[in-house]
Amino acid sequence: MTRTIEYNFSHLFNGIIWNTVVTPEEGILIIEVRNKELKRVTFSALSTGLGNFLWKDIAFDEPWWISLNAAAKQTAIFTIYLENNNPDKKGIFAYDITAQKVMWWNNDFSLVAVNDRFVRGIASKYGVRELTLELGTGVETSAEKELLQSPDGVLRPFQYTEDSSHFITIKTFLSSRFNLLPVSALEYLEYDALIFLSFYVQEGGLANYLMIISDNGDLLMKEKLDEQLKGIGLDTFFLYGDSVFFVKNKRELFSYKIV
């Protein structure tokens, strides 16, 4: 069966889309947006299926020294940097995505991993110590000492630099089939008889493109993600729930369905 790519939704934000995480159980995409001019960071949550917002552009008491880390079930985990000149001094807090309220916090915690029951990290105030906290309460527990990151259902591409044999093979294909000459690095993912390629070309500056190609070599989609770049990126797209997600011009989130 021939697959096709259909536009799903897009949203433009007032700042740079800095980070995104998906709750594996609920399919909620949480987005961190940083506005350097205003020194302000905001967060939004939307449905990965329909693209409708659960909430948009919320901010916390700390306007800038805060970042999005992970999510599980109905909980998002954020890091707060407690001293602006010392990034090692940090804590975390858990936020209820549905109720939109802080559930608990810990002012001496560096996050390592999260799953649907526990949060694992390191405390350093009284010497380095590994801690495992309950996701719902933040209470320390002795369970799950070997806690690993739970799969979030997100498929991310492999990156190949230009000295890789994989890069050379894909470059040869793009050159012969589409008259394109990728440089520096590219990201590659195969999914359901489709090939997803994010690559860079010289266009008076470095430009980043995303292409989706069928397994017989037909071009299904080609989008310019950005241009006049100073360097390459990582995870320029991802797949979740039969949809591909990517950011254009640093500020606009897109979703296309694989049908």
Q: pLDDT (tens digit, 9 = 90+) per residue, 92-126? A: 999 999 999 999 999 999 999 998 889 999 998 88
> For the chain, give me the number of helices (H) and strands (E)?
1, 20
Confidence of residue 88 (pLDDT cuts 50, 70, 90): confident
List domains and CATH numbers for the chain: 5-134 (2.130.10.150), 158-234 (no CATH)
Is residue 65 helix, strand or coil? coil
Asked whether the whole model's pTM tops 0.75, one would answer yes
Task: Indicate if the pLDDT at residue 66 is higher than 70.
Answer: yes
pLDDT tops 60 at residue 85: yes
pLDDT of residue 207: 98
CB 223 within 8 A of CB 207: no
pLDDT in tens, 129-173: 999 999 999 999 986 555 555 566 899 999 999 999 999 999 999
- Higher pLDDT: 2 or 176? It is 176
Distance of CA 74 to the CA centre of its chain: 17
Confidence of residue 86 (pLDDT cuts 50, 70, 90): confident
Q: 229 near 207, Cβ under 8 Å?
A: yes
> Residue 129's beta-bridge partner residues?
123
Q: Which amino acid is at 152?
A: D
Average pLDDT over the chain, rounded to an integer: 93
How large a percentage of the chain has pLDDT more than 70?
Answer: 96
Beta strands in the chain (DSSP E): 5-12, 16-23, 28-35, 40-47, 53-58, 66-72, 75-83, 86-96, 101-106, 110-114, 118-123, 129-134, 158-161, 183-191, 194-202, 206-214, 219-229, 237-240, 243-248, 252-258
- Bigger pLDDT: 89 or 44? 44
**pLDDT computed for residue 212 by the predictor:** 98
